[in-house]
Amino acid sequence: MSHILGYARVSTDDQDLDGQKRRLEAAGAFRVFEDVISGKTFDRPGLTDLLDHVRPGDTLAVVRLDRLGRSLRELLDVVETLKNRGVALLSLEEKIDTSSAAGELVFHVFGAIAQFERRLIAERTRDGVANARSKGSRPGRPPLDQEKREAAILLVKSGMSPTKAARQIGLGRSTLYREIQGQSLA
């Protein structure tokens, strides 16, 4: 017997899950798994519990696709996991149901668009760097001011913390740490 299982997520405690839960239950979800956690992390206990609970033939329902993944790549990974386990995905807002051939096609199109977009960005970046070089520019980090570097290293050698020395000289903390890594500051 197949079931519809819902997944609702909000980013903060200030937000309310009730609206999502009502819509999922109205769509036939007999149980709704919940997370109150930022989409920035993919460690979501509610989603993990749901994925442990679903069985082949079940459907995972969400109100919107962005509740399931922060990026298209994350979303496609979840859908692939579901597909491998024989579980369909139903998104109420986008009206996508991967149990149908049309719904599965939509996801393949999303994946192709995402890959195309990544390649376009890489090509534009390469073209931009080549264009800048042809005009005599040197893309990347500007060269480190050697006087500032030496002054910061002297401060660290005299006992000042690298963080304080970097702030005082006007260097980035990570830049100074990178510079003193190869130095012997004994």
How does strand 31-36 pair with strand 4-10? parallel
* Residues 56-82 pLDDT 10s: 999 999 998 888 877 777 787 888 888
- Residue 11 designated active-site: yes
Q: Which residue, 98, 115, 133, sits at the end of a domain?
A: 98
- Same domain? 94 vs 151: no
- CA dist 28 and 31 (Å) reads 9
Q: Is the dihedral of CA 44, 27, 78, 119 positive or negative?
A: negative
Is residue 9 included in any domain, yes or no?
Answer: yes
Is residue 116 included in any domain, yes or no?
Answer: no
36 or 24: which leads in pLDDT: 24
How does strand 59-62 pair with strand 88-91? parallel
Is residue 169 included in any domain, yes or no?
Answer: yes
pLDDT confidence of residue 99: 85
- CA dist 46 and 24 (Å) reads 15
Strand partners, 7: 33
Is residue 114 included in any domain, yes or no?
Answer: no
Is residue 78 included in any domain, yes or no?
Answer: yes
- Same domain? 11 vs 73: yes
The answer to whether the CB of 42 falls within 8 A of the CB of 73 is no
- Is pLDDT of 108 > 70? yes
Q: Is the dihedral of CA 27, 32, 36, 42 positive or negative?
A: negative
- Same domain? 87 vs 13: yes
User: What is the count of structural domains for the chain?
Assistant: 2
The answer to whether the CB of 185 falls within 8 A of the CB of 157 is yes
Helix axes 173-181, 162-169, angle to 10 degrees: 120
Question: Which structural domain range is residue 175 located in?
Answer: 146-181
- Same domain? 160 vs 80: no
Task: Name the token pair of 130.
Answer: 């080549």
What CATH code is carried by the domain that includes residue 177? 1.10.10
Active-site residue, selected from the candidate residues 11, 38, 71, 99? 11
Phi, psi (deg, nearest 5) at residue 64: -140, 150
- Same domain? 94 vs 25: yes
* Residues 124-158 pLDDT 10s: 889 988 898 899 888 877 888 889 888 998 999 99
Q: Which residue, 98, 113, 136, sits at the end of a domain?
A: 98
pLDDT, average across residues 102-112 = 78
Is residue 37 included in any domain, yes or no?
Answer: yes
Tell the residue number behind the tokens 């979840």, with chain if given. 78
